[in-house]
Structure 1
Amino acid sequence: MINRSMVEQVKCRWREFRREPSAFFWVVFMPILWMLALGFAFSKPHPETYGIGWQAPAHPSAWTEALLHALRTDPQLKFRDPDAEDLRTHMMRGEISVIVTSHDDNKVSYSLDQNNPEAVRAQKYLDDVVQRFGGRQDVIAKDFQTVQVEGGRYVDFLIPGLLGLSIMTSSLFGVGMTIVSNRKENLLKRYLATPMRAYEYIVSHLCGRMIVLLAEFSAVMITGFAVFHFKVYGNFLSFFVFAVLGAAAFTSIALLCAARTRSIPMISGVTNLISLPMMMLSGVFFSKNNFPEWLIKATGYLPLTALNDGLRRIALEGQPLHTLGFEIAVLAAYIVIPAVITQRLFKWY
């Protein structure tokens, strides 16, 4: 039941957020900076380029000179001057991926780190250019057709993940830090002298977080629409409702973390322990499909994975809410179970 004290507590949550400039920066501007940096870095319209190191005999043959000219005129190959510094030093710095050496007997050799995926791609492309220079022709004629896949860009994958990450960090750190700070300042002890019960205080944080969600949701989506022409192919209201479920789940987790904690360093450590593994395993920046199969299944039960997967299925695949039964069940469990435990464990002082 909503009463006046709960309404006033919700107002307090908004005032606390509004009066803290650092919180406003992390919630509103940090996701935008991530989006701009990664969106422009990985959504280039031009082909991938590779850094190449060149080695040749002191008196190169005409064949070597012709090969060097053919490689230098290729737009996807960037050459490093071998006289400037040791080529292996440039390779360790990541400035070049492959060192190609031309020999007097019209042969070439490649030096690369086979554990570096970019170096492997560079070597394959470089060898194709070399072989074509030597006269190789394709046995079968081929043609390429460019297909524009809706939601297929990296930035389309990135924006729902950044929204999920923003919801997680703002909820965990914003709610947890606020409660522990209030407990440390004996503000919660004063609440104990009022008729307000623990569940009302807990619900006020859940409701207050929804108001903050409006700010971060609007910031991420407006930037995505304006800068990268991001589209939500599903129902936009369903997209927002699912984001609300995610915010409620992480707020509930934050309430449980702060139920008895009195130290700011302690709550900071606990929230970092929870958030950092999910940031790496839940497919925020890159697909989690490269993980082992058992790890993919295990991470499916993490709240951030459920949130990101659901947001992407609505935004990129156009899925309706009723098809996201598993993701909704996972988030609902993280809403209900921590909230019930928090009500029993919550300590005012």
Structure 2
Amino acid sequence: MNFNRFFAVFKARNIEFFRDKSALGWNLFFPVLLLVGFSFIFSGDGRPAYKIGLLSQQDQSQSSAQTILTQLRFIDFIDYKDVDLAKAKLSRHSLDLLVDYSTQRYWVNEESSKSYLVEKIFLGQQLSQQPGFTRLESSGESIRYVDWVLPGILGMNMMFSCLFGVGYVIVRYRKNSVLKRLKATPLSAFEFVSAQLLSRLFIVMFMSTVVYSGCNLFFDFFMLGSYIDLFIIGALGAFCLISLGLLVASRSKSEELIGGLLNLTSWPMMMLSGVWFSLEGAPDGLKVLANFMPLTHMVAGARAVITEGASLNDISFHISMLMLMSSVFLLLGAYLFSWNTER
């Protein structure tokens, strides 16, 4: 090994990185942005460990036992008027326990470990305050947590494949002057972007279908809706995410910078789109922010098809949002697309 050659390459790579002001700045400020964002989102005592639904009638005042219960820390209490809606939320793991103080009844989900633990907390709190509650189980077919989290896991995998599979390819083409050569051909930016989009869409949907079908043989996933509807909402979500990846990579020339931009795009969606936990009871501002994320609508729509048997008409809001965002991302990506410049 020649140390001089090694040191020359080592020095050249360091100089290349530090001269790239956009990548250098991003590596410095991205962790700070993450810390600031998470400190704001999860400020206070942190994310609640459990969620309890409280059935209440209009103008109904809280009993002393209910007041004491709602003072417990690390538990999120959500008021409901409709008992059927609340029981459906419990069966789909959006709630861990449902309590009705007016009739002294509470419901649990036997398939949920959280429901078991929060029941023990509730009973320990109530024995000395208001004993005599009747225990009931959530009606309807039980849904395992793996069935509930399945759309989130598949959606997250599709998100990374769509964003990074397109973003890095475009930047590599631009950096290696492949795009510069294509610019000399009759190929338009819209044609190139559309071809990249449809190619990635085919790959993502093919791989996701294979993964779902293979895992279904072992886990026997719960499914109330139509597989065709599930495929359609998945394809629309993937189309939207690919369009977003093309938009993010439309002008960048640095692989370090595009990595940071794609992380900035994917991490908030992974944390706030209902992938791992339900947004039931989250602050209204957080829900509004989540509605601007494509992954939110893809996961929510797919989860509704799987666990609720929803049709395309039932999830029309999510479909409309995905189509609207896809159109905006694709048009902006084609308009801002650069063949060979960084900015």
Relative to the length of structure 2, the TM-score reads 0.60
SS of corresponding position for 1:321 = coil
In the alignment, is residue 184 of structure 1 matched against residue 163 of structure 2? no
Task: Answer yes or no: is the 8 Å Cα contact 2:201–2:242 preserved in 1.
Answer: no
Matches within 5 A, 1:36-185: 115=73, 121=118, 124=121, 140=132, 149-150=140-141, 152-185=143-176
Relative distance call for 1:212 and 1:151 in structure 2 (3 A) is: farther
Give the structure 2 partner of residue 323 of structure 1: 314
Give the structure 2 partner of residue 259 of structure 1: 250
Structure 2 CA distance for aligned equivalents of residues 304 and 235 of structure 1: 20
Query: RMSD of aligned C-alpha atoms?
Result: 2.7
Structure 1 CA distance for aligned equivalents of residues 222 and 124 of structure 2: 39
Give the structure 2 partner of residue 198 of structure 1: 189
Give the structure 2 partner of residue 276 of structure 1: 267
Task: Answer yes or no: is the 8 Å Cα contact 1:166–1:216 preserved in 2.
Answer: no
In structure 1, give the amino acid aligned to 2:315: L
Task: Answer yes or no: is the 8 Å Cα contact 2:274–2:299 preserved in 1.
Answer: yes
Structure 2 CA distance for aligned equivalents of residues 126 and 298 of structure 1: 36
Give the structure 2 partner of residue 236 of structure 1: 227
Superposition deviation, residue 299 in structure 1: 1.4
Give the structure 1 partner of residue 47 of structure 2: none
Task: Answer yes or no: is the 8 Å Cα contact 1:289–1:296 preserved in 2.
Answer: no
Relative distance call for 1:125 and 1:336 in structure 2 (3 A) is: closer
Relative to the length of structure 1, the TM-score reads 0.59
Superposition deviation, residue 215 in structure 1: 3.4
Structure 2 CA distance for aligned equivalents of residues 234 and 303 of structure 1: 21
The answer for unaligned runs of 5 or more in structure 1 is 1-113
Relative distance call for 1:250 and 1:127 in structure 2 (3 A) is: closer
Identity of aligned residues (%): 33
May I ask how many residue pairs the two structures share in their alignment?
A: 227
> Which of the pair has more CA radius of gyration?
1
Give the structure 2 partner of residue 300 of structure 1: 291
Structure 2 CA distance for aligned equivalents of residues 141 and 251 of structure 1: 51
Relative distance call for 1:152 and 1:197 in structure 2 (3 A) is: same
Deviations 1:121-142 (A, max 9, x none): 59848969xx9xxxx9x97495
Structure 1 CA distance for aligned equivalents of residues 208 and 179 of structure 2: 30
Superposition deviation, residue 256 in structure 1: 0.8
The answer for unaligned runs of 5 or more in structure 2 is 1-71, 76-113
Relative distance call for 1:186 and 1:220 in structure 2 (3 A) is: same
Give the structure 1 partner of residue 304 of structure 2: 313
Structure 1 CA distance for aligned equivalents of residues 223 and 118 of structure 2: 33
Superposition deviation, residue 305 in structure 1: 0.8
Deviations 1:71-114 (A, max 9, x none): xxxxxxxxxxxxxxxxxxxxxxxxxxxxxxxxxxxxxxxxxxx7
